[in-house]
Structures are given as structure tokens and as C-alpha cells.
Structure 1
């Protein structure tokens, strides 16, 4: 398991590859990148920064889905 680390997504542990970017992870999980807000270790991450965020052991992300209504 050397190539994997544990991060926390909305409080739940998740094992991911240690070289995955935030963008890679969100696409893997099936999120529409234009309809979510992501907090990484308590900091809001802009869409333009998703590819530059790489994970470390025990990092935490919160994913908030924006739902349109009418």
C-alpha cells in the first residue's frame, strides 16, 4: 500500500493514490467541477487550483455540491 494514502472526504476516510491531484480525485468520484465548492484543510480551493493540490497523509477535504432550484 505504499502508493496509497488515506485522506478524509467529508469526514470519511478514503484511500487514494499518493500522486492524485484534487482535480483527478473529483473527476474519479464523478463530480461536476463547475457545481461544487471544495475546502482543503479548511481553505477554500478555487477551480483553477484543483490540479496543483496534491494530497498528504490525513489531509481533509469537504465537498459542497451546489444545487440549482426553481
Structure 2
């Protein structure tokens, strides 16, 4: 049985695997990584750092997708 941890994703309490990265969360909650910005605990995480940023218990993750339109 794998360990899980609790985080907030866009304000919703979620359980993710312990050791999950920002990239893992984006893969699970975003339709596509194109046009996506992520902040963890109110600090922006650049796309080049997603796979190297490991989340911890209680982190607050905000995933924002840019939408074009008029």
C-alpha cells in the first residue's frame, strides 16, 4: 500500500501519493500542460521546475489555465 498525503488543489482537499511532484498534479488535474501556470503555497513554480518540485503534506497548489477568447 502506498502512502498518501493531503494537499489542496485549487482550494479542494485532495489525496496524492507521497513524493508526488508538481508535474504529477498537473498531469492529473489539467487537461493539457499547454498554457498552464502553477503556484505552490503562493509561489510560482516555473514549468522547467515542475518535475523537480516535490510536494509535501498540506501544500496549497493552484493550477491556472490561460484561456483565449473575446
Give the structure-2-normalised TM-score: 0.87
Q: How does 1:50-69 map to 2 (within 5 A)?
A: 50-69=50-69
| Structure 1: 4+ residue segments shifted above 6 A | none
Give CA deviations for 1:5-39 in whole Å, capped at 9, x if unaligned.
00001111000001211101211224311211111
Give CA deviations for 1:13-68 in whole Å, capped at 9, x if unaligned.
00000121110121122431121111111101100000011111100011111001
Q: CA RMSD in A?
A: 1.6
- Structure 2 residue runs without a partner (length 5+): none
- Per residue, is there more helix in 1 or in 2? 1
Give the structure-1-normalised TM-score: 0.87
Q: How does 1:1-70 map to 2 (within 5 A)?
A: 3-70=3-70
